[in-house]
Amino acid sequence: MASLPPFAAVVVAAGRGSRARQGVPKQFARWRGKPVIRHSVETFARLGAKPITVAIPADYEDLAGEALTGIEAVRLVAGGATRQKSVALALEAMTPSPAPAVLIHDAARPDLPTAVVGRLLAALERFGGAIPVLPVVDSLAIGRSGMMTGVAPREELWRVQTPQAFRFTEILAAHRAWQGEPNAGDDAQVAKAHGVEVEMIEGDERLHKLTYSRDFRSGAAMMRTGSGFDVHRLAEGEELWLCGLRIEHDKGLCGHSDADVGLHAVVDAILGAAALGDIGDHFPPSDPQWKGAPSARFVAHAVALAAQSGYAVGNVDLTLICEAPKIGPHREAMRGKLAELLGVDRSQVSIKATTTERLGFTGRGEGIAAQAVATLYSRENQDQ
């Protein structure tokens, strides 16, 4: 991207964010490994904003300083009782004009695309203000007391985001001239009331605002993946259990339990995804109560533990590695049984088989190996 014209930035981070239930004001909570407030401030600093004035709650200077340590050109200012008041205080703290343009941004929108900043600053060559917007894709209803009373034309409505860009002197004058209570929803409203022309430019879904606790579950937390691997020896005189089914074969698998190598790999994958140890931690082979136990019990236990941690099974992909028995004739029955044990639809279970071309212990028919990958989804996310 070409170099940007000089600009200053205001980051509004003076609210309490109680709906996010993070224990601290949400702008200081961690998101994707860093405090929320640091993400956009770092981006502004990288893009050359100077200065970057951050409006914070009173008495949070230490926490804000810690969250923003090492970022140059940052100034902290105590915010006001409303967002509009916080912005006005930040602008006043920046006078005289530090740059011809200023971008005003909500800290609760941490993912700040560079392209949006470029489009906003380019728009200021044409108008006194610019805001990023997205179209409304849903039908809109007007209601009162829980009843629909009319419809709104979505073609004329837009979702407004931040940052919003203004010529510094114009937005400062607009805030100073505001009449009435300082409770405008954003700075575009303040600018428009003062006669500033505000252009709408293309926004970005990445500018999603963190509002509720579920918003703090990053992709990594909404979806977690674990892997499992297990091996058991084949021996005469043993029953062969695979994926919860007894398979007719001249040999069976040896183990402390029923030695169902497929289910053991699945259990380890689920426990791994939930960061809850491995099968040996929960069902130690030294414990006599698990002698000959059906591995279906282990699966139920792993699924229950994942649920207690807030996760549900999304899908499981299992590969059985052996020369014999042939898995193909039993594959669909195995899928159905495993889906039943996991409490999911059959479509969420994949079972494959392969050989090692007669190499190694599996190739010599001495044992069966299994590897599994399990994906867990946040139950909170699924319920939204």
Each domain of the chain, given as residue ranges in start order, spans: 8-215, 219-383
What is residue 343's DSSP assignment? T
* pLDDT tens sequence across 334-380: 999 999 999 998 899 999 999 999 999 999 999 999 999 999 987 65
Contact 367, 232 (CB under 8 A): yes
The answer for residues whose C-beta is within 8 angstroms of residue 15's C-beta and 6 or more apart is 25, 26, 27, 57, 79, 83, 108
- Residue 332 φ/ψ, nearest 5 degrees: -70, -35
Q: Are 305 and 299 in contact (CB under 8 A)?
A: no
Among the listed residues 163, 122, 155, 150, the one whose alpha carbon sits nearest the alpha carbon of residue 138: 155
* Residue 252 one-letter amino acid: G
Give pLDDT, residue 383. 40
With tokens 């600053």, the residue in question is 121
Query: 228 pLDDT band (50/70/90 cuts)?
Result: very high
pLDDT of residue 382: 44
Tell me the C-alpha to C-alpha distance, in Å, between residue 25 and each of 22, 37, 222, 360, 373: 7, 10, 22, 57, 37
CA 87 to each of CA 61, 102, 202, 288: distance values in angstroms, whole numbers, following the listed order = 17, 11, 23, 67
Q: β-strands 30-31, 8-12: how paired?
A: unpaired
What three-state secondary structure class fits 315? strand
Q: Name the average pLDDT for the chain.
A: 90
Structure tokens at 226: 């674990």
Its CATH architecture, for the domain 8-215, is Alpha-Beta Complex (3.90)
pTM comes to 0.63
- Using one digit for the tens of pLDDT, what is the confidence trace for 78-116? 999 999 999 999 999 999 888 999 999 999 999 999 999
pLDDT in tens, 134-163: 999 999 999 999 999 999 999 999 999 999
Band of the pLDDT at 20, cuts 50, 70, 90? very low
Residue closest to 371 by CA, chosen among 342, 351, 343, 347: 351
> How far apart (Å, rounded) are the C-alpha atoms in residues 334 and 343?
14
**φ/ψ of residue 111, rounded to 5:** -90, 100
**Residue range 258-270: mean pLDDT, rounded:** 95
Q: Does domain 219-383 have CATH number 3.30.1330.50?
A: yes
